[in-house]
Structure 1
């Protein structure tokens, strides 16, 4: 450990690389559980419920009709049939939303619409299809048992009942339930805010002419989208040049209170001009190797910024610059950490075991994440592209990652492999 408190877990001294599990734990430890905030229902989709939601009303809140038809006393139409219909005077119309519902007098019927309150005195609904649909009098040609086509108050949920428990991921059905029970807002876990930086003097904005030696910037945009798809918020700051002083100045300006994680790509390998590594070493961020491919060079820690007003430092995860390495590293380390901080019950990607279509070799001692295409019907997965970490075209066509353990050097055709589902 240096005098400043920063270490390299895989240095020239020969210490072993971290395992994937060890580095995932290190990144996850940087993010604490986010606090709750109240948001309108329209903004709650995809969020995680922060506390139990209890209904303040029963659902349905009152007995109501399940059909368009006529509210009756079941005993008064017990003998009705096509051959021997029963005719009753229609005492009132009850549309949905009527609040001054008159009592059903004996020997009468009320015309009623779906969702309208059942009048006092009625105990059954005769569907309009079993009548002549009269408005002054109605001729009923079928009997109705007591309770027929009546939705009873509280049969779905009772007042005071817990509707949704904390930790529920909210989607349309859950938000619809909250609205039906009268909730205008929901308490959800706050989204972590991530500052995404891509470094490299060779980077230029897409849509502008390239000069020889330049490439279009893609990692920042890609990672910012990945952050948002994970449920967090992202602020993208691109084209930080390969200049240590400028990089530190940008961090001092941007990485202040309100930023939960600084996420960088590039500048973390062992060569010259590794601006991220040079700028952050000795300031609370550790760098080294993880026993994986792609994505070996990694960094993580809490960056100390003098005068920034952040006592514990700012959480930083640094990813390699090759685009496949960068996004695979995000999937393996950053995405589950962000989702865990938001309280997701299943922060990791779903994993299924299928048969490999073809054979794959894998370097000893490194856990491989190969791009794949899943054939769900056949229960097989095939690699797309190669193991090279710059082939983003193959990554864009992949729908899963083939996870090959570090101790496995070859998987034969037809053998089972675990795959991470990227579209689930």
Structure 2
């Protein structure tokens, strides 16, 4: 597979770094240009045929990288004499792309991902364009990608729109796998926007456009603040640790009584109120090498109080509230079942014994398979003995928090490895143990 890097940005928000002497993709991160980090990741994924689309001050890119021999790759260049947008140049490099899938990368991102994993997904879906999507710390000023249950893209909500609804924190990261057939739809003249002029029109036609949801590290380096955070993440090892080729560590989180206030069975969004330390706690997980995954029993579905869509709307509210303050959850797993019958209005479809209801561990094992998690290096934080027993059953280390039910449910006798006053105290305890 070959890669195309869009590297024509001026970087007006990075003038402190670029001083209008180098283009944005040449801004230094830990002593190396953003483009060099990208090329090194591509090479690590055995992608060595690269075309760089240049524009503003493009000669500095070509002078630095040359033919690519020094970096172990082969580089061609296409220079835009006038800006052609995020897709206009693609029609001019058909001979480079040939008749195959290609990777399109925006030149202002730092990433470390398993591209073969994404390619397998792209092929399995028979997708024409696959967007790398993920939760991030600033969904408020990012384009939100709305997926159906099969991960097909049904809408892209621009960051410029006013959102008066709860939404999943699923953001377009600026990295795509594209079938060469898409080139036929790209005009050979004019300024073409990939999202508005190509992807959105294909979505309207119900074409095969999919989102590849990943927990791996990819971050927009478009501002000085974001570059500073990226540098911290590189030095701490977070960037490389999040590559799904490597075993992941996870902090599994109970929901009610741990992340949000315990108000009994929550079956409508209005009842979800965050515990006052939850945002800070989850932000700390996000900046660590751990994943943050929610696992929660939600028997209100079985009780007939709500349906699956209601639970998903509650979780969209959770993701929105966290995202507004710079935090995100990597994944949410919930069990809608309850084994005991005899409640008025109950939904018999969900009144069944199952393997996903805590303290059974299917939600944890499902997550471990999806995200390559090493359970022996992972934790669970919860407010009940059910959570602690779940952790013991799965081989996790356990923390009981004194919020919510504070372990007074009395359903199991399992003893936690740690007892903390709230979720923030629990996360601090886990992360301090990493450095002690």
- Measured against the shorter chain, the TM-score band is under 0.3
Return the structure number with greater strand share.
1
With the length of structure 1 as denominator, give the TM-score of the two structures: 0.22
With the length of structure 2 as denominator, give the TM-score of the two structures: 0.22
Return the structure number with greater helix share.
2
**More contact order relative to length (CA 8 Å, sep ≥ 6):** 1
